[in-house]
Amino acid sequence: MMLKTLREIPAEAETVSHQLMLRAAMMRKLAAGIYSFLPLGLRTLHKVEQIVREEMDAAGAQELLMPAILPAEYYQESGRWDVFGPEMFRLRDRGARDFCLGPTHEEIFTQIVKGEVSSYRQLPLTLYQMQTKYRDERRPRFGVMRSREFIMKDAYSFDRDEAGLDVSYQSMYRAYCNAFKRMGLDFIVVDADSGAMGGSGSQEFMVKSDSGEDTVAYCSACGYAANDEKAACVPEKLEKEEPKAMAKIHTPKAGTIEELVDFLHTDEKHFAKTLIYTAGEETIAVMVRGDREVNETKLANLLGVTELALAEAETVMQVTGAKVGFAGPIGLSVPVYCDLEVAEMSNFIVGANETDYHYENVNNSDFTPVKIADLRTITEGDCCPRCGKPVSTTRGVEVGHIFKLGTKYTEALGCSYLDENGVAQNIIMGCYGIGINRTMAAVIEQNNDENGVIWPVSVAPYHVIVVPVNCANEEQMAMAEDIYKKLQARGIEVLLDDREERPGVKFKDADLIGIPVRITVGKKAGEGLVEYKLRKEQTITEYAADEAVDAIAPAGTVSG
Site membership for ligand ATP, residue 438 (CB under 6 A): yes
Q: Is the dihedral of CA 474, 476, 482, 484 positive or negative?
A: negative
Given a contact cutoff of 8 angstroms between Cβ atoms, the answer to whether 530 and 543 are in contact is yes
Q: What binding mask, one character per residue, do residues 85-104 give for ligand ATP by CB under 6 A, x or -? A: -------------------x
What does the radius of gyration of the chain's CA atoms come to, in whole angstroms?
Answer: 29
CA distance 455 to 53: 20
Torsion of CA 191, 195, 198, 202, to 10 degrees: -20
Q: What are phi and psi of 2, to 5 degrees?
A: -85, 100
CA distance 39 to 329: 60
Span of 57-65, 266-274, 369-377, 394-402 interacting with ligand ATP by CB under 6 A: 394-402
Quote the least distance from Cβ 179 to ligand ATP, whole Å. Answer: 12
Shorter beta-carbon distance to ligand ATP: residue 137 or 291: 137
Q: What binding mask, one character per residue, do residues 255-294 give for ligand ATP by CB under 6 A, x or -? A: ----------------------------------------
Quote the least distance from Cβ 454 to ligand ATP, whole Å. Answer: 22
Which stretch of DSSP H or E encloses residue 413?
Answer: helix 408-413
Quote the least distance from Cβ 197 to ligand ATP, whole Å. Answer: 9
Quote the least distance from Cβ 211 to ligand ATP, whole Å. Answer: 13
The correct pick among 17, 78, 147, 448 for binding ligand ATP (CB under 6 A) is 147
Site membership for ligand ATP, residue 146 (CB under 6 A): yes
Site membership for ligand ATP, residue 141 (CB under 6 A): no
Site membership for ligand ATP, residue 150 (CB under 6 A): yes
Which stretch of DSSP H or E encloses residue 152?
Answer: strand 149-159
Span of 159-167, 397-405, 407-415, 541-549 interacting with ligand ATP by CB under 6 A: 397-405
3-state secondary structure of 126: strand
Site membership for ligand ATP, residue 108 (CB under 6 A): no
Strands (E), 59-146: 62-63, 69-71, 89-92, 98-101, 125-134
Span of 143-151, 352-360, 408-416, 486-494 interacting with ligand ATP by CB under 6 A: 143-151
Among the residues of 183-281, which ranges form H helices?
Answer: 257-264
Shorter beta-carbon distance to ligand ATP: residue 152 or 260: 152
Site membership for ligand ATP, residue 114 (CB under 6 A): no
CA atoms within 13 A on the CB side of 315: 15
Given a contact cutoff of 8 angstroms between Cβ atoms, the answer to whether 377 and 348 are in contact is no
If we measure between CA atoms, which residue out of 151, 130, 119 comes closest to residue 37? 151
Q: How many residues of this chain interact with ligand ATP, rule: CB under 6 A?
A: 16
Shorter beta-carbon distance to ligand ATP: residue 105 or 376: 105
Quote the least distance from Cβ 137 to ligand ATP, whole Å. Answer: 5
Shorter beta-carbon distance to ligand ATP: residue 131 or 171: 131
| Residue nearest to ligand ATP according to CB distances in the complex | 435
Positions in 398-437 near ligand ATP (CB under 6 A): 398-401, 433-435, 437
Site membership for ligand ATP, residue 208 (CB under 6 A): no
CA distance 9 to 18: 10
Given a contact cutoff of 8 angstroms between Cβ atoms, the answer to whether 153 and 63 are in contact is no
Interface with ligand ATP (CB under 6 A): 104, 135, 137, 146-147, 150, 152, 398-401, 433-435, 437-438
